[in-house]
Each structure stands twice: as C-alpha cells, then as structure tokens.
C-alpha cells in the first residue's frame, strides 16, 4: 500500500466574502499565482460512537487525528483514505488508496484504527477550493461549504469563507505575518458540522 506523507505548518483565516476578495487581490498583486483549477472537495469523516475525534479537536488535545475518505469533483470512484495528524512536532497527512467496494463496506461496518478502534461514518463535508502558490507556500480559498450528518438527509450551510496557508515546517512565522497581517483562527470544518447542526440550507 502506498503512503503519501508530508509535514507542514497550517494557518487558517476565517473571513467574510468581501474580506476574502480583498485578501486575494492583495496576494495576487504581490505575485501569488494559480496552482491548478478549482475543485469541489467532498470528505466523508469517520469517528467513534462518542465522537472522540470531534471532542479532541475542540479541546485542542495533542496528538489527535481526523480520518476521512475524500474525492474531488464528481469522481467518487477515485477515493483516498486520509489520516490527518496534529502533534507537538507539527501536522502531517498520510494518504492511502481505497477502493469503492471497501469504502461502501466501511459505511456499513466502520473502519479499524490503531488509535481509536472501530470508527464509523459521522459527517460529510463539501466545499469549493481555489488553489494558489506564492514563495513555496500554498494558499487555498474555500467557499460554498456544506455539511451533512451521516444519519440525516438535512444539509447545513456554512456562510463563512476560509483562507488557509500551508507552508514548510521550517517557514518563519514572522515572514507569514508580514505578508499576511490578519489574525489567525481555528476553523475545523469537521467540528463545524456539529457546531452548526441546527442551521438548515
């Protein structure tokens, strides 16, 4: 089984539509360029019955994981199983290929994980992402964010937009703050699927 792994820093900025547009204009003027075409990203997250991963993320505990099956646009046959780990050393993501049959099976019987035991489908997250690059840093702009709990047909819409900067683990925080002087924020789409559970599209 192939594994893709990368350590990186991540900074997130929760913004209104107008603030995000202004930030994008400023960064383009500085030399930010398009990395590749926009995509719609869909992730089916998994968790324990008592939502341990959600609780750990909300409490900021380390180490912690988020585990999901992800696909892009309408290509639901090209699936990857991703384990995203937050630790004292930084963040990294492991990516494993998963077949459609195994994914469908996991929706019924769950997945086995060494850290959490058997985990089950919890919430689905979907959004549109724009990709840019500047000085070896990747900038992504997320909008049209929606959530759907596995046991419900109800769709929840998130009206906030998110800018995320992913940089090498050795990148200077001072440099990041100098080129983008906005306050960072915690923004876990998976957690917001539960925090906004009473909002209806």
pLDDT tens figures, 94-139: 999 999 999 999 999 999 999 999 999 999 999 999 999 998 889 9
For residues 30 and 138, what is the distance between their CA atoms, to the nearest angstrom? 14
- Compute the distance between CA of residue 180 and CA of residue 169 in angstroms, rounded to an integer: 18
pLDDT at 199: 60
Find where tokens 């047909």 sit: 153
Statement: residue 31 has pLDDT above 90: yes
State pTM to two decimals: 0.88
pLDDT digits (tens, 9 = 90+) for 67-83: 999 999 977 778 999 99
Cis-peptide into 33, omega within 30 deg: no
Whole-number pLDDT of residue 3? 44
158 with 196: CB under 8 angstroms? yes
Q: Which residue is it, tokens 């009206």?
A: 159
Predicted confidence (pLDDT) per residue in 137-185, tens digit: 899 999 999 999 998 999 999 999 999 998 877 777 777 677 777 788 8
């Amino acid at each position: 089984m192939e594994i893709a792994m990368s350590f990186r820093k991540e900074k997130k900025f929760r913004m209104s539509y107008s603030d995000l547009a202004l930030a994008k204009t400023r960064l383009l003027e500085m030399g930010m360029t398009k990395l590749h075409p926009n995509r719609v990203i869909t992730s089916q997250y998994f968790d324990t019955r008592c939502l341990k991963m959600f609780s750990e993320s909300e409490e900021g505990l380390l180490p912690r994981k988020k585990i999901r099956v992800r696909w892009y646009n309408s290509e639901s046959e090209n699936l990857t199983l991703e384990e995203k780990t937050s630790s004292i050393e930084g963040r990294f993501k492991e990516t494993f290929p998963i077949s459609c049959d195994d994914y469908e099976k996991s929706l019924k019987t769950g997945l086995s994980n060494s850290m959490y035991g058997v985990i089950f489908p919890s919430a689905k997250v979907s959004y549109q992402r724009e990709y840019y690059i500047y000085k070896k840093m990747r900038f992504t702009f997320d909008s049209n964010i929606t959530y759907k709990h596995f046991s419900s047909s109800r769709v929840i819409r998130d009206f906030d937009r998110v800018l995320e900067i992913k940089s090498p683990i050795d990148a200077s925080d001072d440099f990041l703050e100098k080129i983008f002087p906005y306050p960072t924020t915690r923004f876990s789409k998976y957690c917001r699927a539960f925090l906004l559970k009473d909002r209806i599209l």
